[in-house]
Structure 1
Amino acid sequence: MLTVGLTGGISSGKSTITSWFLEKGIIVLDADEIVRQLQKPGSPLLNDLAREFGSNVILETGELARDVLGSIIFHDEVAKQKLNDMIHPLVKKKLVEGIEQAKACGEQLVILDVPLLFESGFESLVDETLVIYVSRDIQVKRLMQRDQIGEDYALAKINSQMSLEKKRDRADYVINNERSIRELRTQFEQMFEMLWEKACQLSSN
């Protein structure tokens, strides 16, 4: 089985690529979805977050107040690291369980959709890494348009992650999303064919 780590940056187009893998019937283990499940109302993690960052990170409905938690960690590297230390081991455990389950079911190709693949060290879980790349200027413009925010806020959000240039340089494969959706689809199909062929070779060995 071939395990591929898919990552990118904010507004790079990673979600589109993920949806196309799903269209082809490929299992995608989504780190963000795992985090959402771990943070459900009443969960041990949510209780731990309230103890660490204050009870106001939980809404009256029992759900996580994402904006409140985000404002706490956004400009505080120590708080951000504490949050990562609490969440990343739990996410890694779930990803490993998902990989093992897919392997047991005879899957040939599995995608790990992890926004912080390199930052969290999760590339150790995969055989290959795939980055969806756009230039910084395009990333800023797309994020401003998507979230209806100003340039300074967009830059602050982008700067909170490893740059796409660094991710691109560390990746085994890169898809460039600076042109049309049609061009993006063409690149995806070529990439998928390559990955599927490699996955089938691994399965036959």
Structure 2
Amino acid sequence: MRIIGLTGGIASGKTSVANLLERLGAPVVDADQLAREVVEPGERALAQIAESFGKAVLNADGSLNRAALGEIVFADPEKRRKLESITHPAIKERAEEKLARLKAAGAKTAFYVAPLLIEAGITSRVHEVWVVYLDHETQLARLMARDGLSREAALSRIASQMPMEEKKRLGRVVIDNRGSREDLEAEVLRVWREEIAAGQPPPAEP
């Protein structure tokens, strides 16, 4: 099974592209969704988080209090690394399970969507990387509009990630999302026809 890693920068349109690919018939495994799943009540990772950071990071019903945990880990790089040492292996395990099920079901191609695919050094999970791209000013404008951020706050969030131009160079396929929604739909359909519908053989196993 050909596993394609789909990534991009904040507000670049990864989710929109993933939704379009799903509509075209591609199975999609979303790392952000997996990250939410592995910290649900009853999951081992949630128990480890409570053990490491205290009951204050749990709500009364036993679910994760993301705001409380965020206050702890974003102010302390060491604690953020501790959190990642709990969640990343759980996400990896869940991703491998879902991809294995897709392969067993006969899927020829699957997309693994991960915002930090390159930064987290997990490109070994995929055969190739596709990047959803937009230029810096368009990214800034869309992030400010989407999240209601000031220019300074939006710039800070963008600066915390790998620059889009650098990610663009690392993508075997680049999906241009600088235009309208209609432009994006046409771009995804074009790439789909060239890369997926054409039935190209998958690369070697990672």
**TM-score where L is the length of structure 1:** 0.90
Would you say the 8 A contact 2:50–2:57 is kept in 1?
yes
* 2:14 matches 1:14: yes
The amino acid across from 1:10 in the alignment is I
Structure 2 residues without counterparts, runs of 5 or longer: none
Determine which structure has the larger helix proportion and give its number: 1
- Going from structure 1 to structure 2, the CA distance change for 1:66 and 1:158 (only over 3 Å counts) comes to farther
Aligned ranges 1:25-174 → 2 under 5 Å: 25-174=25-174
Name the amino acid aligned to 2:184.
Answer: L
Q: Within 2, Cα distance between the matches of 1:87 and 1:95?
A: 12
Q: Which sits farther off after the overlay, 173-182 or 67-76?
A: 67-76
Query: 2:45–2:90: 8 Å Cα contact kept in structure 1?
Result: no
Cα distance between partner residues in 2 of 1:89 and 1:100:
16
Displacement, 1:5? Answer: 0.4
Return the alpha-carbon distance in structure 2 between the equivalents of residues 100 and 43 of structure 1: 20
Structure 1: gaps of 5 or more residues: none
Structure 1 residues 49-73: Cα deviation after superposition (integer angstroms, max 9, x where no partner): 1222332221223221222222333
Aligned-partner SS, 2:201? helix
> 1:117 touches 1:123 (CA, 8 Å); kept in 2?
yes
Alignment partner, residue 3 of structure 1: 3
Q: How many residues align?
A: 203
User: Matched residue of 2:29: which SS?
Assistant: strand
What is the CA–CA distance in structure 2 between the aligned matches of 1:95 and 1:195, rounded to whole Å?
A: 23
Distance 1:133 1:190, change over 3 A: same
RMSD, aligned α-carbons:
1.9
Q: Which amino acid aligns with 1:60?
A: A
8 A contact 1:5–1:112 mirrored in 2: yes
Percentage of pairs with the same residue: 34
Shift of 1:136: 2.1
Q: Does the Cα contact within 8 Å between 1:2 and 1:199 map onto a contact in 2?
A: no
Partner SS, residue 7 of structure 1? strand
Cα shift at 1:75: 4.1
Q: CA deviation at 1:11?
A: 0.8
Residue 113 of structure 1: how far off its partner (Å):
0.9
Report the more deviating stretch, 16-25 or 47-56.
Answer: 47-56
Q: Deviations over 1:107-145 (max 9, x none)?
A: 111000111111222211111111111122222221111
Alignment of 1:166-205 (within 5 A): 166-197=166-197, 199-202=199-202
Runs of 4+ off more than 4 Å = 197-200
AA partner of residue 64 (structure 2):
L
